[in-house]
């Protein structure tokens, strides 16, 4: 499998002498990864064999601590590879991803089905109350035991063999799904010709379209790409209905073009394998299996939350639909509102109802100032400081900062990769290239935020883009402020419907007038955003929230319903999607946030499968959590911030989430704060 020539001068076979021990990106080549993976897999196998074959009776140190220590070389390779293939891929890296996915799945299946190893964990779990271990150690033991059990460690030999085969195939399918979406995004551009094609587009959209063209070797032209940050502004401002339709149809057809990158067959096979996996493990459906290890626990709990919000959101969306149709008629249009019209006419309606347009706000949303705002809020809440630092990066656009605490001590390294490019997967995410832990001294994290903003001079963001930056910064704080001993429960290693709490909660601070007045400054004049515009911006925060909410919940319910299937025989995903949307009464003028053929949260891997709902579950928590600050009259209240740090940001997965939330807030939340936050209180 490996190219032995790459063993020479392979950075993965050396200690890194870079500042802060960051990866030496300029010295890393595609051919280094396969030899590094081979050696790391072999080392990990030997470590696991030693733990499982230890003749001494199992105890916490010789079993759990040993497991925590095992696989460090593999973790180092994985962390770098997955970030590079997501942010700056090339054909060689994509091939490695396809090749390594089933190998990695088989490796982990073999470990988690190791009978002798599970027997040691099972013996410890049964006597956990008498081991004299700390609460964090008890949680680490429980999580290892649960993980092994959920991966089939208690199955017979036949069941284990089949489950391992399923895991390997799912890994192949997930990699193929993701690469198909990337290929569709890379291959498509919609050229815009003369002024007629640019009609209605403000300067910042034109500049972004010109930059996208230049990046693709078409300097002097304008193109729309299938990046969300390119398509959505075009749909919002273009007065060319024919081009809006063309762009929209291409956008929603990613992974659904009946060609070599079509994902429908991958979805059908993935769903079938997930059903089989759940049954092997004793669950009626994959959704039951997936949610059993989440805060929600059951599909019914998820559906109840989504339905609670769906009903008032639909009422609001239908009222907005009628208002948009009236606006079309007022302008002399004789056509029915379509999904590619919604954002365009909503922008007009926003101007009428709220006396505000996106184009008024965007000149004040300069990327560098929004980054400053995110750092400043982290400083006011948690005493953090961010200082630019010269360390190796994986692309010239990437920036890096050293993060220090209130005492001046080193907290971690933070990378920001903010610009869209053809080699980068769409969306935004947080990742780590080293996790915090204290098993061998104080190990501080290396955290990154990735986004896909259109590069400009300067780069101007929409208000939603700015909120996205704060969202990912919230995840980053979860990684940077982690303060636990064991790697398996550090940072964002938490239940899926808890992981979005820090990120969604952090969004609230950008919406505060005091933050906007300080950091929202006009990119040309430097003048602060006018108070009148701030007031209108805050007043308009829930404008078009009905449509936004239905887009999200529809995707969540389709995800849930797909994984409640007991058979995928003859699954026609297009028909399933149509039937599911009809069943919930989805207005035909509104599209899903993510259609199944490009729903990477759910089909590029299993993390959000049956769990896309978790953003709204976490929003129930974040709405109530921010109210804790508001109730004091100070959104930067130091005492509440200390409780947030102590019970959410620093704890990782070291305690049960419900227990942590009660420790922070004094009680569990209900949906009331969520409905109020979205502007749906009293709507019915």
Angle between helices 228-237 and 339-354 (to 10 degrees): 60
The continuous run of DSSP H or E covering 387 comes out as strand 385-388
Taken in order 175, 181, 184, 190, is the CA torsion positive or negative? negative
The continuous run of DSSP H or E covering 96 comes out as helix 91-112
With CA atoms as reference, report the closest residue to 163 among 279, 320, 43.
Answer: 279
Q: Is 217 left (phi over 0), alpha (psi -120 to 50) or beta?
A: left
Between the alpha carbon of residue 644 and those of residues 382, 480, 510, 625, the distances in Å are 10, 14, 18, 9
With CA atoms as reference, report the closest residue to 225 among 237, 235, 215, 212.
Answer: 212
Token pair listed for 190: 């919609």
Dihedrals phi, psi of 565, to nearest 5 degrees: -65, 145
Report the distance separating Cα 174 and Cα 194, nearest Å.
41
CB 411 within 8 A of CB 404: yes
CB 397 within 8 A of CB 455: yes
Those residues whose C-beta lies under 8 Å from the C-beta of residue 152, and which sit 6 or more positions away, are 109, 112, 113, 159, 160, 163, 164, 280, 281
Q: What is the DSSP letter of 255?
A: T
Report the distance separating Cα 78 and Cα 37, nearest Å.
8
Angle between helices 614-630 and 545-562 (to 10 degrees): 140
Strand partners of residue 404? 385, 410
Between the alpha carbon of residue 328 and those of residues 321, 348, 652, the distances in Å are 11, 10, 50
Is 588 a residue of the active site? no
CB 441 within 8 A of CB 613: no
Token pair listed for 578: 């149509």
Looking at 113-157, which runs of residues are DSSP E strands? none
With CA atoms as reference, report the closest residue to 23 among 380, 382, 329, 398.
Answer: 398
3-class SS string, 22-68: CCCHHHCCHHHHHHHHHHHHHHHHHHHHHHHCCCCCCCHHHHHHHHH
Of these residues, 97, 207, 437, 472, which one is catalytic? 472
Token pair listed for 218: 């078409």
Q: Count the neighbouring beta carbons within 10 Å of the beta carbon of residue 59.
A: 16
* Residues noted as catalytic: 472
């Amino acid at each position: 499998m490996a190219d032995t020539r790459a063993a020479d001068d392979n950075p993965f076979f050396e200690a890194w002498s870079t500042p802060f021990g960051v990866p030496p990106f300029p010295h890393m080549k595609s051919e280094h990864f396969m030899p590094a993976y081979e050696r790391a897999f072999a080392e990990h196998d030997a470590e696991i064999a030693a733990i499982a074959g230890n003749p001494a009776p199992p105890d916490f140190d010789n079993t759990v601590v040993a497991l925590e220590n095992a696989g460090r070389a593999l973790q180092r390779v994985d962390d770098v590879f997955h970030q590079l293939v997501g942010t700056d891929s090339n054909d060689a890296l994509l091939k490695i991803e396809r090749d390594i996915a089933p190998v990695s799945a088989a490796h982990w299946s073999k470990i988690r089905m190791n009978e002798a190893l599970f027997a040691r964990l099972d013996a410890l779990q049964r006597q956990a109350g008498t081991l004299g271990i700390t609460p964090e150690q008890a949680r680490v033991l429980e999580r290892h035991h649960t993980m092994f059990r959920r991966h089939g460690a208690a199955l017979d030999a036949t069941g284990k063999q089949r489950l391992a085969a399923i895991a390997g195939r799912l890994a192949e399918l997930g990699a193929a799904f993701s690469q198909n979406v990337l290929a569709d995004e890379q291959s498509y551009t919609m050229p815009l010709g003369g002024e007629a094609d640019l009609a209605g587009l403000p300067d910042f959209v034109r500049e972004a379209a010109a930059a996208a063209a230049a990046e693709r070797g078409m300097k002097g032209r304008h193109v729309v790409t299938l990046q969300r940050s390119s398509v959505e502004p075009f749909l919002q401002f273009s007065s060319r209905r024919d081009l809006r339709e063309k762009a929209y149809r291409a956008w929603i057809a990613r992974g659904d073009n009946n060609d070599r990158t079509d994902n429908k067959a991958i979805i059908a096979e993935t769903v079938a394998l997930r059903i089989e996996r759940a049954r092997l493990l004793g669950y009626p459906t994959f959704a039951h299996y997936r949610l059993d290890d989440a805060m929600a626990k059951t599909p019914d709990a998820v559906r109840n939350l989504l339905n609670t919000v769906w009903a008032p959101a639909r009422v609001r969306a239908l009222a907005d639909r009628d208002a948009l149709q009236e606006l079309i008629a007022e302008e002399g249009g004789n056509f029915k509102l379509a999904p590619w019209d919604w954002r365009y006419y909503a922008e007009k309606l926003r101007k009428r109802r709220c006396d505000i347009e996106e184009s008024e706000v965007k000149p004040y949303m300069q990327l560098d100032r929004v980054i400053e705002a995110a750092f400043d809020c982290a400083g006011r809440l948690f005493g953090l400081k961010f200082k630019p630092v010269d360390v190796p990066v994986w692309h010239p656009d990437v920036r890096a900062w050293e993060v220090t605490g209130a005492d001046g001590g080193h907290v971690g390294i933070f990378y920001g990769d903010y610009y869209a490019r053809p080699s980068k997967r769409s969306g935004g995410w947080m990742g780590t290239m080293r996790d915090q832990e204290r098993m061998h001294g104080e190990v501080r994290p290396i955290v990154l935020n990735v986004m896909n903003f259109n590069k400009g001079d300067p780069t101007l963001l929409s208000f939603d883009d700015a909120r996205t930056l704060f969202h990912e910064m919230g995840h980053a704080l979860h990684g940077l402020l982690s303060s636990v001993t064991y790697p398996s429960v550090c940072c964002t290693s938490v239940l899926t419907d808890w992981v979005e709490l820090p990120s969604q909660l952090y969004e609230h601070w950008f919406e505060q007038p005091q933050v906007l007045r300080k950091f929202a400054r006009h990119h040309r004049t430097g003048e602060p955003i006018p108070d009148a515009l701030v007031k209108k911006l805050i007043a308009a925060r829930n404008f078009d929230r009905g449509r936004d909410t239905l887009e999200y919940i529809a995707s969540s319910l389709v995800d849930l319903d797909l994984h409640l299937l007991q058979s995928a025989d003859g699954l026609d995903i297009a028909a399933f999607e149509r039937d599911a949307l009809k069943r919930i009464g989805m207005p035909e003028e509104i599209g899903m946030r993510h259609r199944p053929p490009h729903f990477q949260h759910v089909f590029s891997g299993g993390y959000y499968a049956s769990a896309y709902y978790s953003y709204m579950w976490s929003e129930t928590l974040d709405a109530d959590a921010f109210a804790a600050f508001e109730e004091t009259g100070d959104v930067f209240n130091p005492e509440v911030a200390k409780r947030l740090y102590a019970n959410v940001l620093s704890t990782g997965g070291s305690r049960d989430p419900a227990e942590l939330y009660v420790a922070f807030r004094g009680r569990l939340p209900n949906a009331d704060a969520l409905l109020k936050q979205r502007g749906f209180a009293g709507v019915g």
